[in-house]
Every structure is written in C-alpha cells, then in structure tokens.
Amino acid sequence: MKTQNFISKLRLPIIQSPMFIVSNARLVIASSKAGIVGSFPSANCRTLEALDQTFSEITEALGSGKEALPWAVNLIVSKMYARSNDDLDLILKHQPPIVITSLGNPKEVVEKVHKYGGLVFSDVINLYHSKKAIDAGVDGLILVCNGAGGHTGELSPFAFVAEVREIFDGTIIVGGSISSGDSILAIQAMGADMAYMGTRFIATKESDATEEYKEMILNASASDIIKSNKITGVNGNWLEQSLKNAGISPKERGVKQTLGDLKKMIMPLIKQKLKVDFDISKVTAKRWRDIFSAGQGVGSISNVPSVEDLVLELEMQHAKSKSRILKG
C-alpha cells in the first residue's frame, strides 16, 4: 500500500492514535469507517487469543488485502515487552495495512511487514530517534511533540517538523495537542501529512474510557495537564484531578525517579518473561486505570459524540478554517 494513495482517499488526514486501555476494536472500526485511520495497541489484548480474535473482528469489518480500509496496530518492539515476537507473528498472520512501532528498533518489523505490502510508521520524540527509524526503512515518522497525551515529547512541532523534513521524504505524522480541525490544518501548513489524535477520541461513545475519565476530559483545560516522570519513569502528561484522586501531590511533578523507583517499575515487566500468558494490565493497571492520561488539547473538547459525528465535526472545522485563510 502506497502511503500517499491511502491518505488521498481519507476523509481527513487523521490517525486515531492507539491508546492503552482506551482503544478497542469498536473504536478502530468506527474510525476507519468514518474515513480516518483507526488504531489500537496490541498490548490492550491480555492474551494472544484475545489479540487474534481482535484482529479477526477488525478484518471482518474493514476487509483485508488491497481492498481493506486503512487501520493500524501499535506494537512495542522493546525487549522489555515480553510478548513482542508473539504479537508480531499475529500481525504477519492478519496483515494489518499499517503497523506503528514504539520503544525500540523497527528494522525487523519493517522487513517483515513490507513483505506482505504493509506500511510501518515509527513514533519518535527527537531527531536522533528519527534518524534511527529512517535508517531502518520506515515509511512514516510519528513526531510525538510537546503537549501530547500519554508518553510525551519535548519539542515544538514547528521545530521538529522542519528538522525532520530536511532529512526525510516519507510520511510525517504529528501528535501533540491536536483536538480540532483547525489544528489539523495547522500541522498540514507546516509540512506534515497527517495528524495523530488521541485525547479527542477518549471522549467518544466507542472508546473504552470510563465515564469518570470522559467527564474529567470535558472539564479540563490545558493548565490541568501535569507533565511528570513519576508515574511510569518517563515523561507523560496526566490529568491533575486524577493524580489528586490517587493521592499524588502535583507539587512533585517533574521530579526524577530514583534508580530504586525505576527498578521497581521495570522488574514486574522482566518477570513477565517467565509467563506464557503476558497480562500487561496487571503491571500498569494503577498507572493507567486510575491515573488518567491526556494531552494539552483538552480545552477544546466539550462533548462525547460518536466517532462518525466527531469526524463530521472535525471536517467542518477544517473546512471553515481553510476558508477563513483563503479569504484572508
């Protein structure tokens, strides 16, 4: 599948980004049927059997091969994720059109996915990681910029896109504070091809976010987003209210974890390698189920529509913004 070919056929150039716990088959299917790219993390499925079933459900709804609507699965390629190779085997079995890699070298994934005609996008947070992914042969780079929900970047999209475009002629996708049609047009204007939108899709009817989570999104503004490495060991953006509810003082934001704290975090993951049935939810349940992640674009979210209605809303905003610029 050629990247520009599928982008030109989309209703809007959006990837509904894969969100831990939140994304599911229902959200992927609704997104792709609405004319954007739906995606989910393979780690959301607690067992390989569940992942196999999820792949089957999606391909049955969206088609397979060259006739499939575009959708993506996110694969953690780090050795710290014990199920990486097994998940990749299922990816090769079901052949999703797009594979998004995180936290590791995507070279092996690129080689195998390209054999069946799929595309590989790799998420990156700086120019160093971008060059590594380019050398591995990826088709696209997802630039995770400052303000993104979940594990976040540090760079402004203005700086990051310009630097990457100098060295890469593939597809550039930008994530970070994009919650409206205006934002989509803005990243296109600066040279990106697609928007990576996660937080806006948390507050949809199809997402697996709890009602409490969705309500917190609706009531939040950018100033309610706390960047901290205290939760997972790397910088992430979190809803301040959820931190308070969990008994965590926002005053501790940004304080580096001690080596001992980091060891406590990663040891359960290492031990999981001894288990055939890898259950990632047991390792991260407290961090993601009780402490809610969100990007700085929450301030423009005021409703919980269906995915179809949301895409229509974004489409109208995008068109209105484009018209305003052309008139100017």
Question: CA-CA distance, 181 to 313, in Å (whole number)?
Answer: 8
Specify the CATH architecture of the domain 3-210+303-327: Alpha-Beta Barrel (3.20)
pLDDT confidence of residue 235? 78
**Half-sphere exposure of residue 262, counting CA atoms within 13 Å on the CB side?**
9
pTM for the complete prediction? Answer: 0.85
Residue 42's Cβ-side half-sphere holds a number of Cα atoms within 13 Å equal to 31
What are the residue boundaries of the structural domains of the chain, listed by start?
A: 3-210+303-327, 211-290
- Identify the burial level of 170 via C-beta atoms within 10 angstroms of its C-beta, where 0-12 means exposed, 13-18 middle and 19 or more buried: middle
Per-residue model confidence as pLDDT tens digits over 125-146:
999 999 999 999 999 999 999 8
Residue 297 confidence (pLDDT): 92
- Distance between CA atoms of residues 57 and 286, nearest Å: 28
pLDDT of residue 268: 46
In which element (H, E) is residue 225 found? strand 225-228
Could you give the 3-state DSSP secondary structure of residue 96?
coil
Q: Give residue-wise pLDDT tens across range 163-175.
A: 999 999 999 999 9
Considering only 179-183, 227-231, 309-313, which range has the smallest mean pLDDT? Answer: 227-231
Report how far residue 148's alpha carbon sits from residue 169's, in angstroms, rounded to the nearest whole number. Answer: 24
Residue 257 scores a pLDDT above 60: no
Average pLDDT over residues 39-48: 93
